[in-house]
Amino acid sequence: MKTGFVGSGFAASFHFEALLEGAGELAKPVGCYSLHEENRKRFADERDLEAYDSLEELLEAVEVVHVCVPAAFHEEVAVKALRRGVNVILEKPFTGYFGPSNDPSFRGDSYPKETMLTGALESARRILEAEGSTEARLYYAENWIYAPVIQKEAEIVRKTGAQILWIVAEESHSGSHSPGYGNWREAGGGSIMGKGTHPLTTVLYLKRIEGDARNGRPIRPAAVTARTHEITRLPGYRDMGFLRTAYDDVEDFALLHVTFDDGTVADVFASEIVMGGVHNWLEVFANNHRTRCNINPIDAVETYNPSDQQLRDVYVVEKIGTKQGWTKPAPDENWMNGYVQELRSFYGSIRANEPSFSNAELGFDTTNVIYSAYLSAERRGAEVELA
């Protein structure tokens, strides 16, 4: 299958690498497009691809497109691709609300969250409608779902008929790679949108798996309560230079409490104030078992290094900060994080003309919970029932 990439940054790079490792026999990368000519030419030249001058030209040349641009452009690219009959692999977050185009004074932290929720759901519905109008499909690239530790838990839930009573999950670290992160107009939110999307979508996925296995229908989210904070912008915050602080109008800490339509619950934490590398984990408390899924760090390898300089040419793990002392190097980070398995699954589904469990409906539910959570936080933690 001829494959293209929209975007030329961090996400496009790891999509390309994971594609070659996970589905190289099913896909032939042919080209890329991004707004900045210099960036797309660099990306293409480094990977022996063609740099297309327009999105339309790229879509004419491919059967599958990886959407690896900021979330503000997800709807536009996904809808155009689907309407042309091109299958879409859409990087997280699914979509969102990015402010009115004619209001230069827009600030996400003070803008009415009910308007945001309405706008985000309208965007998500337009993507669903575009998919429904074509034979092409959308595959929602939430790599956590395909991480080996999460898939093992999904197997346990399916095969034992488990009832999940409570899930706790977190993604936190010291700040995003993206230069546009920290601005609501481009990112669509802060730590909930940029970090919380991963554990939240995985929580929703596991409850869908449980419902499908036990009752033949997914268990879906019914309500959410949330609080958000701007900790690195507090007047008394003392910046020691170890955490990213360049946040304009978004939160850097959040917690969500989700209630499902079967009455069970989940708690999700997301923040930018954690040092020592990426902190990704999920724990399931069921009526017949308990599982803790450590996505990052993994303790398969532990290394003591007396000198940071000594490992200057050795990759350890994302956002570790220092390589000195005890560390837990990732044996294969793309594999442990699920990127390789995700693309192998997607391309297998495309070839077989089958849908994926990580689909537009799951993306819609994630968007619904995220922006309902922002509405709850605006109301200082009051519960918001999901549309």
Dump pLDDT digits (tens) for 102-117.
888 999 999 999 999 9
Say what the pLDDT of residue 148 is.
95
User: What is the per-residue pLDDT across 278-315, written as a single tens digit (0 to 9) for each?
Assistant: 999 999 999 999 999 999 988 888 899 999 889 989 98
Q: Which of 141, 121, 129 is nearest to 83 (CA)?
A: 129
**Interatomic CA distance for residues 154 and 237, integer angstroms:** 41
User: What is the per-residue pLDDT across 228-276, written as a single tens digit (0 to 9) for each?
Assistant: 999 999 999 999 999 999 899 999 999 999 999 999 999 999 999 999 8
In single-letter form, the type of residue at position 99 comes to G
| pLDDT band at residue 84 under the 50/70/90 scheme | very high
**Does residue 177 carry a pLDDT above 80?**
no
Answer for the pair 338, 353: CB distance below 8 angstroms, yes or no: no
User: What is the per-residue pLDDT across 163-173, written as a single tens digit (0 to 9) for each?
Assistant: 999 999 999 99
**Interatomic CA distance for residues 52 and 323, integer angstroms:** 40
Mean pLDDT score of the chain = 95
**Does residue 123 carry a pLDDT above 90?**
yes
Looking at per-residue pLDDT, the higher value among 316 and 371 belongs to 371
Say what the pLDDT of residue 318 is.
82
Placement of tokens 């985000």 in the chain: 120
CATH of domain 2-141: 3.40.50.720
Say what the pLDDT of residue 31 is.
97
CATH of domain 144-332+359-385: 3.30.360.10
Answer for the pair 150, 98: CB distance below 8 angstroms, yes or no: no
| pLDDT band at residue 362 under the 50/70/90 scheme | very high
Placement of tokens 């900060």 in the chain: 321
**Does residue 179 carry a pLDDT above 80?**
no
What number is the average pLDDT over the span 353-365? 95
Say what the pLDDT of residue 348 is.
96
Answer for the pair 162, 343: CB distance below 8 angstroms, yes or no: no
| pLDDT band at residue 5 under the 50/70/90 scheme | very high
What number is the average pLDDT over the span 12-21? 94
Say if residue 179 is preceded by a cis peptide, omega within 30 of 0. Answer: no
Say what the pLDDT of residue 159 is.
96
**Does residue 63 carry a pLDDT above 80?**
yes
Per-residue burial over 281-300, b = 16 or more CB atoms within 10 Å of its CB, e = otherwise:
bbbbebeeeebebbbbbbee
In the chain, which segments carry CATH 3.40.50.720? 2-141
| pLDDT band at residue 127 under the 50/70/90 scheme | very high
The answer for residues whose C-beta is within 8 angstroms of residue 26's C-beta and 6 or more apart is 1, 347, 348, 350, 351
In the chain, which segments carry CATH 3.30.360.10? 144-332+359-385
Residue 175, Ramachandran bin (φ over 0: left; ψ between -120 and 50: alpha; else beta): left
Say what the pLDDT of residue 334 is.
87
Say what the pLDDT of residue 297 is.
87
| pLDDT band at residue 333 under the 50/70/90 scheme | confident
Say what the pTM is: 0.94
Say what the pLDDT of residue 180 is.
73
Say what the pLDDT of residue 298 is.
84
